[in-house]
Chains A and B, each alone.
Chain A
Amino acid sequence: MKTASIDILPMAAVGLILVLVMMMIAPMVMTHNDTPVNVPQTRTSERKVEENATITYTIDGQLLFNDKPVADLAELENRVEMVVVNDPYVLVVVRADKHVLHSDVLDLLATARRAGALRIACATKRQKEQ
């Protein structure tokens, strides 16, 4: 006697592929890492996939907020403030090139703080274990 059966294998395969694709795409959509920056490498780091506001500072002194150019620190403060007003607990990530001066990065951090950011992180890349 034949029993009715559903072939779930293709569905499972498609589901798995969808999950993988979503896992790949989610960090790209939620973060703003389009501008290439040589961030410092560290052994310890925390990875949080959440929507964030990103301040990027390149080796040639270019300043960007969410991958859009910013003229100066005053404008940056306004832009960060607009984001912080909507969500006070938004994560502000500072992506600075590892060869820029630390004092310049401090200015960026201080600007984010002045704009009311409560959660600030410095972007790093995980160092490969030797």
Chain B
Amino acid sequence: MHRRIRSPLRKNELILTSLVDIALSLVIGFIVAVPLFFETGIFVSAPGVSRAAADEEGSDIKANIFVADDGTVLLNEAQVSYENLADLLPKLLDRSLERKVVVAAGELVEYDMVMKVLDIAKQSGAADLALLRKRRAN
């Protein structure tokens, strides 16, 4: 008759797999959840005051976007929809050296609409986002 001999080591063995699994799941869950819980941001160049365009003649292709009070979007003075803007802007920026996008908006435009345009510009590969505002009469 064989007698089963238990090794004393076996009794003290730790099962690491479950702990490692839980720890790894926590880390992955945390990495996934962070962007949803915390705020992120879009870096912008602080607003400059618009001057006469004539003194800023340059050879680089410009991407000027204007959001009108009624929600109309103009790209270099041509009316475009948000979908068209997402198509046209990358093509325009590919030909630009500075890849700068200047965004201006009417007085009554909501902040969310301008951020939507900035988001599209960023997705299109804009390197620098600038916000423009009109000079106010003092």
Partners in one complex: yes
Which positions in A face B, CB cutoff 8 Å? 9, 13, 16, 20, 23-24, 27, 31, 33, 39-40, 42-48, 93, 95-106, 109-110, 112-113, 117, 119-126, 128
Beta-carbon contacts of B23-56 to A below 8 Å, as 1s and 0s? 1001100100011101111111111000000000
Which positions in B face A, CB cutoff 8 Å? 14, 16, 19, 23, 26-27, 30, 34-36, 38-47, 67, 105, 107-116, 118-119, 122-123, 131, 133
Assess the B46–A117 pair: CB atoms within 8 A.
yes
Assess the A121–B44 pair: CB atoms within 8 A.
yes
Q: Which residues of A contact B116 (CB under 8 A)?
A: 40, 42
Instruction: Give chain B nearest CB distance to A35 CB in angstroms.
Output: 12
A45-B41, A45-B42, A122-B41 known; A99+B112 contact, CB < 8 A:
yes
Name A126's contact: one of B35, B110, B122 (CB within 8 Å). B35
Q: Give complex CA distance A95, B109 in Å.
A: 17
Q: Which residues of B contact A47 (CB under 8 A)?
A: 34-35, 38, 40-41
Assess the B46–A109 pair: CB atoms within 8 A.
yes
Assess the A45–B111 pair: CB atoms within 8 A.
no
Instruction: Give chain B nearest CB distance to A28 CB in angstroms.
Output: 9
Q: Which residues of B contact A9 (CB under 8 A)?
A: 14, 16, 19
Name B47's contact: one of A33, A110, A125 (CB within 8 Å). A110
Q: Nearest 4 CB-CB pairs, A to B?
A: A45-B40, A113-B46, A98-B112, A121-B41
Q: Give complex CA distance A103, B133 in Å.
A: 8
Q: Which residues of B contact A95 (CB under 8 A)?
A: 39
Q: Give complex CA distance A25, B129 in Å.
A: 31
